[in-house]
Structure 1
Amino acid sequence: MDVLHDKVKALFEATGFNLRQEIDDGPNFVRHTVVLGPDKFSMGFGTGKYGITLSGNTRCFADPEGKFR
């Protein structure tokens, strides 16, 4: 899993995005990488003993038709 986090870090740092990584040295081997970029882009990538998570937003802007979707 460390290799995945390192690749995500290298990719997004090369494009100028802000990045934060956290590592929990506990028994579950939890590691988080958070990426923040332009146009309110955000991505969270987490790994641990029991799974992998991926979340985020690509943009946040008002719906031009004023409809909730």
Structure 2
Amino acid sequence: MEKGWIKLQTYTDAIRGEIDKQVLAENGIPAVLLNKQDSSFMFGKIDLFVNERDFNHAQELIVENDSETNEN
């Protein structure tokens, strides 16, 4: 990973990771998913990275989105 990027979240569910990445993109925050899952058995982790300068705002957006998802 390039310098200046930091791990925001780790997932085991690829869809959840894609949703959070999309939420960040919609709010102007570039994000990268690094999928370390085994393609046959789907075990392992998926890491979501953002630039260090966006970390706090990105974290707030993810928490807010999770809260809204859990309410519905």
Instruction: Give me the TM-score of the superposition, normalised by structure 2.
Output: 0.46
Q: Of Structure 1 and Structure 2, which has the larger fraction of its residues in helix?
A: 2
| Larger Cα-atom Rg | 1
Q: Of Structure 1 and Structure 2, which has the larger fraction of its residues in strand?
A: 1
By relative contact order (CA 8 Å, sep 6+), the higher-ranking structure is 2
